[in-house]
Amino acid sequence: MPLKKGQKLQTYSFETKKQAIEMRLQGMTKQKVAELLGIADVGRLKVWMRRYNQMGDFGLMDGRGKPEEYSDANRYVKQLEMENAVLKKWLAITKAEVYQRNIGSSMSSVKALALQSSVKRSASPEVDTTLT
């Protein structure tokens, strides 16, 4: 419904919105919730419900004016836990790759050292050259 000149918008507290959502989730009709909580526009309940389903409690907060610091601790903690899990997996994969490279290069180093030492032994002065 369009605003008329001089008409003030009705605002509702977060607690009222949360209570309305809880009542709707318990199966109460929009009309009954609006009556009990004194909500003038029944359509507001539909908007609040959609925002609640999309964003949880944060969707019910008033987003007008200067934005405040978002401090939903649970969501932030879950995000950090997910990042930690990803980093742990990445670290395990990287360690395995480095280990495999080191094992491969160690084996080739051992073979190279064995080859070098056998070449040195055959060319060393200790070898008996009196037969020539």
CA distance 20 to 39: 9
- Please state the pTM of the whole predicted model: 0.45
pLDDT in the model for residue 84: 94
Express each pLDDT in 72-122 by its tens digit.
Answer: 677 788 888 999 999 999 999 999 888 888 877 666 666 666 666 665 555
**More confident: 35 or 132:** 35
Q: Tell me, what's the pLDDT at 23? A: 92
